[in-house]
Structures are given as C-alpha cells and as structure tokens.
C-alpha cells in the first residue's frame, strides 16, 4: 500500500483521536470522582453538537468561537443536572445509576429525533475546504485546528486538576470520599462540579467536532461506544490513559476504515472494547481491581 495513504490515515486518525481524548476525559472524570458510568455521555455530546449547529445557523456564531458559549453553558447544565436529578438518585447500586443514565440517554436521543428529525446536519464554513500541507499530505484545516484546540483544552483541564484548589479537592474526593469529607471538603459540591466539568468537555468537543463531522440524533449512540472504549482502554480514572486511549482509538478507526472499508471498519473500536474488557479490564493505566 502506498505509504502516503498509510501516513494520511495515521495522521487523520491521530487528529480525530485528540478530540476523542477530550470527550473521554469528561467521562473518565465523572467515573473517577462519582463512580458513575455516564451512559448519557454520547447523547449529551450529540445535544451539544446540535447546540453548536444552531448557534451557527441561527446566530451566525462560528463553532470555534462558540466555545465561549458552549463550555460554560454545558458546565451549568451538568452542575444543575447533578444537583437536581442525579445527585438525588445516586443512592443505591451501581447498576441503578447505569440504568438511570441509560434512561436519560434514551430520553435525550429521542427528544432530539422528535424535534430535529432524523437527518444528519453538517456545517460549512469559509475555511472548511482549506488544507494544510504536511510534506506530500494534505490535511483539512478544521481537523488540524480542532486537534490542537483539543490538546490545549486537555492540557488546561490537566492543569486545573493538578494545580488549583478545586482540582485538588476533586482528586481527593476521587481517591477517598470519606476522608475528603472528614477534612471538610463539600463532597456534594465537588460531585456537581465534576459532573459539570464532564459536560463542559462535551461542550468543547462539540465545538471542535461540528466543523469536521456531522450530527444526527442517532450519533449519540456511536459516540458512547467510542468514548467508553477510550476510557476503558486507558483505564477508568486515568487522564494519561485517556490521551493514549484516544489516540489509539482514532488510529484504529482510521486504519479500520482504510483496510476493511466503510462498513466493516467500524468494527475495530467495538472489538478493542471487547478485547480490553476480556483481557485487561483495568486498562493500560487504570487501577487494578
């Protein structure tokens, strides 16, 4: 096979992978802190993408600029959602929460279907067709911009978690809930903040994905598997793992499509997910259970 094609597939895979990392980091944060497997992660991303879509088509706001709107908006949504709904229902078994987030995802996905109908939406920007040249390769400009933006945001998130007081509190709660409570941390607030941040990353990812992808009410389902695979691959609760996992998943998707074709190519991600769960459920970096 022509090395140029392989290289192009690799680079494209890595670029997408960067964005998957951003999506997965929210999921891994929510799991790490709240021990909730947020099944609604995918449908919320879909919702956020519709948000970006309408911001552009109705108000003319460029998706990248929309970051300033979407991130705080999704944060607020997450915070309130936790405070008024999920927080109350968190008591009880792990599986109950999984079912509740499942219910939420069904609700969101089908409300979207109701209001937005089943068609896919894409956006077309003035720079959608511009290309970067990298040696013999031509890379779409939006993809490259999104990748770097995603990496910057991941780094910012990482700094927030490691350097700020809230970040430290978050890590404390993730490591030892009771102990955190005993030293005076408002654990409920940290839960809400973490959930908010989790959704905020989706808001950001939505802005970065809209220029290079499409959105339709059923894409939530696709994103869920991708996000979970990244998280499980990297290890639940590990950021470094999410980064590595994202890149690997991006590459798999790209090469899968290249070697197996459009339809069968999608199988790569699900297979990775299954294989990881069967052979190394703690992921590449997670805590061994």
Partner 1 sequence: MSTARPSWLGHGLLLLIALAFPLLFSSPFMVNFGVLALFYAFIGQSWNIAGGFAGQLSFGHVAFFGVGAYASTMVQMRLGWNPWMGLPVSALAGAAAGWLIAVLSFRAGLKGSYFALITLAFAEVFRIVVNSVEVTGGGLGMLIPMKQTAANFQFGDRRVFYFIILALTVASVLLALWLKASRFGARLAAIRENEDSARALGINTFAEKTKIMMISGAIAGIGGCFFAQYFLYIDPTIAFGVDKSVEMLLVSMIGGAGTVYGPLIGAVLLAAISEVTRAWFTIQGLSLVLYGALLVVIIAYLPNGLIDLFKRRSQRPGSP
**Positions that interact with partner 1 (CB under 8 A):** 37, 88-89, 92, 94-96, 98-100, 102-111, 113-114, 118, 221, 225, 228, 232, 260-261, 263-264, 266-267, 270-271, 273-274, 277-279, 281
- % helix, strand, coil for the chain, step of 5: 75, 5, 20
Residue 258, both tokens = 């290249």
The pair of structure tokens assigned to 276 is: 């990881």
| Full 3-state SS string of 229-267 | HHHHHHCCCCHHHHHHHHHHHHHHHHHHHHHHHHHHCCH
Cβ pair 237, 287 in contact under 8 A: yes
- The helix/strand/coil state of 198 is helix
Helix/strand/coil for 212: coil
DSSP-derived secondary structure for 126-188:
TTTT-EEEETTEEEEHHHHHHHHHHHHHHHHHHHHHHHSHHHHHHHHHHH-HHHHHHTT--HH
| All residues at 6 or more sequence positions from 234 whose CB lies less than 8 Å from its CB, including other chains | 24, 28, 240, 241, 242, 243, 244, 245, 246, 283, 284, 285, 286
- In the numeric block, the tokens 């809400």 are attached to 192
Distance CA 107, CA 96 (A): 16
């Amino acid at each position: 096979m022509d090395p140029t094609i392989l290289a192009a597939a690799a680079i494209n895979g890595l670029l997408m992978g960067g964005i998957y990392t951003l999506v997965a980091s929210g999921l891994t944060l929510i799991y790490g802190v709240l021990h909730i497997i947020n099944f609604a992660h995918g449908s919320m991303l879909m919702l956020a993408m519709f948000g970006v879509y309408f911001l552009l088509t109705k108000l003319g706001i460029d998706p990248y600029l929309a970051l300033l709107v979407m991130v705080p908006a999704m944060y607020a949504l997450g915070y309130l959602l936790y405070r008024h709904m999920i927080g109350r229902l968190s008591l009880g078994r792990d599986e109950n929460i999984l079912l509740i987030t499942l219910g939420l995802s069904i609700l969101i996905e089908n409300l979207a279907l109701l209001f937005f109908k089943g068609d896919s939406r894409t956006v077309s920007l003035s720079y959608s067709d511009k290309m970067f040249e990298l040696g013999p390769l031509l890379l779409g400009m939006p993809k490259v911009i999104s990748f770097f933006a995603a990496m910057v945001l991941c780094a910012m998130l990482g700094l927030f978690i490691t350097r700020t007081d809230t970040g430290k509190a978050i890590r404390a709660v993730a490591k030892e809930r009771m102990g955190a409570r005993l030293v005076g941390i408002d654990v409920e607030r940290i839960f809400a903040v973490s959930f908010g941040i989790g959704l905020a990353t989706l808001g950001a990812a939505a802005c970065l994905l809209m220029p290079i992808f499409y959105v339709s009410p059923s894409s939530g389902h696709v994103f869920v598997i991708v996000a979970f695979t990244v998280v499980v691959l990297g290890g639940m609760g590990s950021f470094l793992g999410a980064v590595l996992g994202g890149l690997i998943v991006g590459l798999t998707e790209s090469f899968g499509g290249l070697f197996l074709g459009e339809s069968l190519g999608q199988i790569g991600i699900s297979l990775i997910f299954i294989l990881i769960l069967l052979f190394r459920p703690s992921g590449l970096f997670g805590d061994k259970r």
